[in-house]
């Protein structure tokens, strides 16, 4: 592989590739050899950044449940061992845990690698990297990939240290729950102090990813009734459903389990547990805008008048809830979890308090938790809120009861057939905006693409036309706040897009 081949593996601030042949004619490009070289390149990059000799570095390796994970983890270990790195094999882990391995005193790694492709099909895999500053940036990944072709595959005998990171991480989360609920336990009885979740029925759907530990090592240990939890066993073929909180089948599965088992709360994680969503006792999904609203409502008392950062496809309904009902500010930024996280860091550095950066996909990073997008930590915050609202005679749903329900939503993805799809997409957006301005349409400030709001006798709602982060596509997101509005807003958008012959719906 040359540098161009390696660069094809870049997916924003991650590395993603095909690890198993034969699906839709795709050929493997994330080979053990490639991963071996990438790991060596990461070690050199980390050495330069930290100023440490490579032989002084401590790097942890973890993986999710994918069937190619073990081989690719071994390839990473071999490459790092050849460089002289002290390698710690953390086995089955989660993406947030791999970052926390740099924070925990018991591990204190200089860097870490997580072998995962998040929610992508089982034939894919990838790598995420961390150092003390968090996940690496787009430019860092590019540097590592460009340099990877300068290394040779090395099969180095290794006696990598083994470490049960997931238990350490689970203990950290359990202690968070115990500490937050300690006052409630004292009020009731001392016997509940070690089992603060007794009396609560909480179900988890791990989608056969890496999230099953949340039941056995946290909820069960703290006294929750987890009967009805499902797909906790790691299985990289994902036989039950895609481990993705945004997947309709996955969400319907956890909704059904919550209703069947009469649970107080349902939690669903993606494969590597950096994303999550929830389900209320009546089967209502707490997803997209609602999950952002819930977490913001939990944080609002501790961070009054603060700013919540979201991606660009959040709704006007969410803005009204955050600003009018919670007294917060809504900063609707760009798509991409690194984008919202970095914006959150920037605002806080400037003295503008921002406790949360969250995408509608379920990526949520809290300032109090190292700006780490951690699905399990978000779940902990929601569980604590569940216990506290119950002690007050309220329900968890009461925190977001003023969030207006979603009425109509559509997404249309226009494929760009032009060879230079990036430039063509920019031209379309510029003309789309010019036409909207000429038509006198209302366009709120947008950090990405073109957003238009509608509120007239025929339609009420909004649209956002933007460029995809990685694909030759212009996604059009629409939300109608009055019956029939979504269809009429789409018709308006189609008029503004007329004449672009390189766009295919």
Pairing of strands 276-279, 86-92: unpaired
Please state, in angstroms and rounded to a whole number, the distance separating the CA atoms of residues 278 and 106: 32
Report how far residue 330's alpha carbon sits from residue 324's, in angstroms, rounded to the nearest whole number.
10
pLDDT digits (tens, 9 = 90+) for 59-118: 999 999 999 999 999 999 999 999 999 999 999 999 999 999 999 999 999 999 999 999
Task: Kindly list the distances between the CA atom of residue 411 and the CA atoms of 16, 428, 474, 477, 500, in Å, as whole numbers in the listed order.
Answer: 25, 18, 10, 5, 19
Residue 187, pLDDT > 70, answer: no
Q: What is residue 493's predicted lDDT score, i.e. its pLDDT?
A: 97
Residue 1 confidence (pLDDT): 85
pLDDT at 23: 65
Q: How confident is the model at residue 192 (pLDDT cuts 50, 70, 90)?
A: low
Q: Of 202-211, 229-238, 400-409, 464-473, which range is least confident? A: 464-473
DSSP conformation letters of 337-359: HHHHHHHHHHHHHTT----EEE-
Instruction: Quote the tokens at residue 235.
Output: 């299985």
Angle at 363 between CA 314 and CA 333, to 5 degrees: 40
User: Does residue 155 surpass a pLDDT of 80?
Assistant: no
Q: What is the mean pLDDT of the chain?
A: 95
Q: Which domains does the chain have, with CATH numbers?
A: 3-163 (3.40.120.10), 167-400 (3.40.120.10), 408-504 (3.30.310.50)
Pair 115, 125: CB distance under 8 Å: yes
Q: Is the pLDDT of residue 470 over 90?
A: no
Q: 442-458 burial string, b = 16+ CB within 10 Å, else e?
A: eeeebebbbbbebeeee
- The percent of residues in the chain predicted with pLDDT above 70, rounded, is 97
Output the pLDDT for position 26. Answer: 80
Q: Where are the alpha helices (DSSP H) in 84-223?
A: 95-103, 138-148, 165-188, 213
What integer pLDDT is reported at residue 184 of this predicted model? 74
pLDDT at 44: 98
Tell me what the mean pLDDT of segment 321-333 comes to.
98
Average of pLDDT values for 443-459?
Answer: 95
- Cα-to-chain-centroid distance, residue 453: 28
pLDDT attached to residue 39: 97
Looking at residue 22, what is its pLDDT? 65
- Give Rg (Cα) of the chain: 23
Tokens linked to 2:
């040359």
- Structure confidence at residue 188 (pLDDT): 54
Q: Which residue has the tokens 């506290």?
A: 388
| CA distance linking residue 245 with residue 243, whole number of Å | 7
Write down the pLDDT at residue 190. Answer: 52
d(CA 360, CA 341): 13
In the chain, the percentage of residues whose pLDDT exceeds 90 is 92
pLDDT classification of 309: cutoffs 50, 70, 90: very high
């Amino acid at each position: 592989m040359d540098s161009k081949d390696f660069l094809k593996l870049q997916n924003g601030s991650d590395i993603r590739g095909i690890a198993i042949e034969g699906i839709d004619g795709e050929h493997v490009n994330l080979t053990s050899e490639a991963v071996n070289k990438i790991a060596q390149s990461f070690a050199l990059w980390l050495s330069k950044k930290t100023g440490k000799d490579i032989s002084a570095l401590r790097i942890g390796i973890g993986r999710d449940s994918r069937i190619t994970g073990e081989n690719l983890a071994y390839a990473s270990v071999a490459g790092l061992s050849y460089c002289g790195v002290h390698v710690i094999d953390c086995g089955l882990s989660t993406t947030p845990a791999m970052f926390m391995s740099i924070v925990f005193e018991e591990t204190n790694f200089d860097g870490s690698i997580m072998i995962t492709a998040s929610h992508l099909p089982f034939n894919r895999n990838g790598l995420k990297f961390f150092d003390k500053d968090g996940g690496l940036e787009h430019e860092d990944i590019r540097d590592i990939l460009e340099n990877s072709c300068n290394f040779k595959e090395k099969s180095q005998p290794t006696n990598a240290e083994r470490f049960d990171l997931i238990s350490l991480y689970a203990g950290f989360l359990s202690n968070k729950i115990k500490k937050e609920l300690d006052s409630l336990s004292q009020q009731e009885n001392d016997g509940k102090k070690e089992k603060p979740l007794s009396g609560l029925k909480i179900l988890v759907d791990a989608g056969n990813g890496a999230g099953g530990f949340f039941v056995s090592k946290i909820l069960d240990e703290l006294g929750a009734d987890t009967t009805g939890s499902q797909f906790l066993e790691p299985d990289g073929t994902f036989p039950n459903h895609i481990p993705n909180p945004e997947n309709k089948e996955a969400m319907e599965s956890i909704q059904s389990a919550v209703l069947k088992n009469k649970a107080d709360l349902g939690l669903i994680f993606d494969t590597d547990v950096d994303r999550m969503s929830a389900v209320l006792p009546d089967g209502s999904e707490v997803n997209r805008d609602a999950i952002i609203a819930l977490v913001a409502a939990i944080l609002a008392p501790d961070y009054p008048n603060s700013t919540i950062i979201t991606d660009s496809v959040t709704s006007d309904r969410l803005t009204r809830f955050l600003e009018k009902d919670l007294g917060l500010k809504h900063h609707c930024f760009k798509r991409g979890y690194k984008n919202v996280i970095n914006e959150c860091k920037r605002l806080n550095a400037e003295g503008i308090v921002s406790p949360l950066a969250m995408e509608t996909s379920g990526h949520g990073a809290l300032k109090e938790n190292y700006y780490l997008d951690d699905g399990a930590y978000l779940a902990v915050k929601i569980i604590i809120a569940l216990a506290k609202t119950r002690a007050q005679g309220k329900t968890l749903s009461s925190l977001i009861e003023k969030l207006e329900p979603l009425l109509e939503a559509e997404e249309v993805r226009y494929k760009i057939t032009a060879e230079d799809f990036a430039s063509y997409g920019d031209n379309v957006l510029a003309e789309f905006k010019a036409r909207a301005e000429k038509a006198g349409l209302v366009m709120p400030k947008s950090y990405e693409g073109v957003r238009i709001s509608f509120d007239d006798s025929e339609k009420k709602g909004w649209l956002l036309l933007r460029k995809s982060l990685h694909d030759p596509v212009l996604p059009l997101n629409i939300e109608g706040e009055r019956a029939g509005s979504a269809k009429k807003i789409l018709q308006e958008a189609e008029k503004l897009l007329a004449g672009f012959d390189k766009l295919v719906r």
